Structure 1
Amino acid sequence: MVFYHPDLHCIDRANRLATWCRCIVVDNTPDRETRERTEALLDDSVVYLPNCANAGIATALNQGIERLIGDGFEFAVLFDQDSESTLELVSGLAAAAQECIARRERVALVGPAYEDSRLRGVAPFVRFGYFRLRRIIPTGDAPVEVDFLISSGSCLNLACWQEIGPMDDTLFIDLVDTEWCMRAKSRGFSVLGLPWISMSHELGEEPIEVFGRKYPMHSAIRHYYLFRNTICLLKRRYVPWTWKSTEVIKLPARLIIYACFAPEGWAHVKMALRGVWHGLTGRMDVPPRG
């Protein structure tokens, strides 16, 4: 579980998770006082790894996964601090992954359907198509081949970690999970959605309404990373043309939505355009400035 300025609910989630399995918390909170409070409130069974800085989601996930591999575990279930876990979720994910491996399937990742009550209920699974995403309603009791899963709530087969490689630290936060799934599939592994398992997860910040439809929203800084990383991935050979064709259409549409519907829309547009420029020029190590 990755922390960043966690509140008491986040700490409770980690403590609850520790009663079911080995729980590792990687904390990206820079503030020393908050880290000390967090460590004091975490159960003694939780492995607490403070970074003392915001090292990004990719680095934090890599640290936790490497710790589990070093301790001899076979699977890692990844969680954001605001995702609700249950014993049924954790055990169901691990059992499904084990069944796939027993059938000699080259599975890298399995994950549940997720529900954000602020948006449209249970989100569909996704496959990439030319100029559009193919959405698959999560029904039935058989795994569904998908093109990516969000990292939170997903169960990673650690046996394939060395062959696929770690999360891309240079991406820092946005599209980290998407890139890893595309890289895994390019190397012959499968990514599977499990429609009979669901998880409560809030995607981004408070949604905005666009022509009567709820649209997930992030901060301007997050939009910098989204646009920068999208441009970066468009240049990579293993990234499928189906994904690339869709993103070429979605990028200008996002800019219009930010400009017309987001509070302080110009700040979002400015940061997104800066992300485009840095992506085009390969400036992946330059911190964004508001």
Structure 2
Amino acid sequence: MIGAVLVVYKPDLALTERLLTRLYGQTKEVVIVDNSPTPHDFTKVIKHYHYIHLADNSGIAHAHNVGLLYLLKAGCEYAILLDQDSLIPSDMVFNLSSLLKASNKIKQNVVAIGPRIRCSFSDKKVNSKIQKEVFEYDDLVGVTQIIASGMMIDLSALDQIGLKDESLFIDGVDHEWCWRARSMGFDIAKAKNVEMVHRLGDSRSKFIGVTYKVGAPIRLYYQFRNILLLSRRPYVPTYWKVRCLFFMPIRLFLNSVMQKNRLKRLGFMLQGIVDGVLGRKGPYKSHWK
């Protein structure tokens, strides 16, 4: 049995309802975990779902874990994680689950599989220039990590790998889980011929011809802090550590000089660096007022 965990936060209702319309009927169970301050009702587009309201917003990792634990208790074998910024094809769950099951026949110990991502801003496929493919077999490509939205997980592996790292709160949560799984001998894969539209970041900006993602100022705190936290962990890929640490000064410049709310953004980045150096984890509000 397959279940879905949809995490929302102050959702764009039109986008979320469009996603739920596509999801309806693809899984036996649907859990909507809402991190928004006020609750939402989605019964006009989906009749049968389990709703969990976490008004204090304890992070996406905690939201994922709450949803995954619910699906485990409901007897699900597989879970697909989704967020409000994604649009899935009507056969995505079937295709991903088929590939996940087939991976066992080719002796690939795949515990999570995701689709190819098409960015909604550029309408182009997202291809990593640094991440190398680990293996390739028919419609499967082994990779080092995939994003959380669209990720289908074999729930039986959670006993060994563990749940998502709630201390990270948001940024890097999906990649950290994949790297941890790979360090334990499991494989992570993408489906060659399954594609999902997803919005990465809130907007885009350009500097000397290079396009970069722009997100909410608070996200900069978690991005900078979690780079420093994850860079200490031995199972995190060296290429990721080098790339992220190298680009930190450039991102500091772009977000403090080239964007609106410069001082606010600079403050969040500096606070993230301080907490990353000191090894502080958890939500921002635990350390700063």
Q: TM-score with structure 2 length normalisation?
A: 0.89
Give how far 1:92 is off.
0.9
Aligned twin of 2:117: 114
Measured on the aligned residues, the alpha-carbon RMSD in Å equals 2.1
CA distance in 2, matches of 1:207, 1:141: 35
Aligned match of 1:129: none
Distance 1:269 1:135 in 2: 33
1:155-188 Cα distance to aligned partner (Å, 9 max, x none):
1111211111110001111000011111111111
Match of 2:7 among 2, 6, 13: 2
- Match for residue 23 of structure 2? 17
Would the aligned equivalents of 1:26 and 1:64 in 2 still touch at CA under 8 Å? yes
Classify 1:162/1:225 alpha carbon distance in 2 versus 1 (closer, same or farther; 3 Å).
same
Q: How far off its partner does 1:244 sit?
A: 1.6
Quote the residue 1:93 is aligned against: 96
Residues 262-273 of structure 1 correspond to what in structure 2 (within 5 A)?
Answer: 262-273=259-270
- Give the SS at the match of 2:57: coil
Secondary structure (helix, strand or coil) at the match of 1:144 reads strand
Amino acid at match of 1:246: R
Deviation at 1:252, TM superposition (A): 1.4
Is the CA contact (8 Å cut-off) linking 1:119 and 1:215 kept in structure 2? no
- Quick check: 1:204–1:218 contact (8 Å CA) kept in 2? yes
TM-score by length of 1: 0.88
Mapped contact 2:112–2:188 kept (Cα < 8 A): yes
Partners of 1:281 and 1:210 lie apart in 2 by: 32
Q: Secondary structure at the match of 1:79?
A: strand
Aligned partner of 2:47 in structure 1 is 44
List gaps (5 residues or longer) in structure 2: 1-5
| Structure 2 residue matching 1:119: 3-state secondary structure | coil
- CA shift digits 1:43-82 (9 cap, x unpaired): 3311111112212100011111111111111111110112
Corresponding residue for residue 249 of structure 2: 252
Specify every segment of 5 or more residues in structure 1 that has no aligned partner in the other structure, as ranges: 127-132
* Same amino acid, percent of matched pairs: 31
Aligned length: 278
